[in-house]
Amino acid sequence: MDNKKRIALITGASRGIGRSIAIRLAKAGHKIAINYNSHKNDAIEVLNNIKSYGSEGIIVKADVSKRDEVEFMIKNVEENLGPIEILYNNAGIISDSLLMRLKIEEFDRVIDTNLKGTFYCTKFCLNNMIKNRWGRIINISSVVGLRGNVGQSNYAASKAGIHAFTKSVAKEVATRNITVNVVAPGYISTATTDVLTEKQKKSVMAWIPMQRFGEPDEIAPLATFLSTEEARYITGAIMRVDGGMAI
């Protein structure tokens, strides 16, 4: 990790991968803004963990699919911690169904949260990064955005959109010492996968050469490395952490 302490905003940081990233950054002494939408108690628990490592942090409520809430969140972080230097677009939802049964509002909701939420957060954090000529943007995606999946046309589209968005923004800001990258996890043991039946889990396991789901702590090391000065020559990359699922 860098010796310089940075200010990081992590969306969807109350649980799972976002939580693991927040704690890992806190151990390095960075200031952390923990975004949540509906799990306030979990966000408070993460904040307490961060403070136990001697790091500073705040919790900020926002639905990233709503532009006004994102703008307010970012202003709140800037006023309480300072300009955001590291952004993790981690918040995301699923609403699975075969396309013939998928409701239009379910498609819109997933796109609005996963893709437009990434757009809003990136856009409203970027000005200060450009002004300060330093920034790290890490978008947490999914291998589903690379390979597709039955019953997840909306989710796959949102994640594939993040991949193209990342590459485009990376080209736009490369000369400003700002990097933009994707970490694409496979199936990770989080609240999202906990709802799968044993039959579904066995079916998924057949796709994974390592024959197990990953853990949030196995995503965080790569995700946090991409926020460092040492990763300054990596941009526009899509990095899989999936146990070989998308080989």
HEC sequence for 112-165:
HHHHHHHHHHHHHHHHHHHHHCCEEEEEECCCHHHHCCCCCHHHHHHHHHHHHH
Cα separation of 4 and 228, whole Å? 10
Beta-carbon-side half-sphere exposure of residue 169 (alpha carbons within 13 Å): 28
User: Can you read off the two tokens belonging to residue 55?
Assistant: 């790091």
Residue of 120, 155, 187, 233 marked active site: 155
Examine the residue annotation and report whether 155 is marked as an active-site residue of this protein: yes
| Catalytic site positions | 155
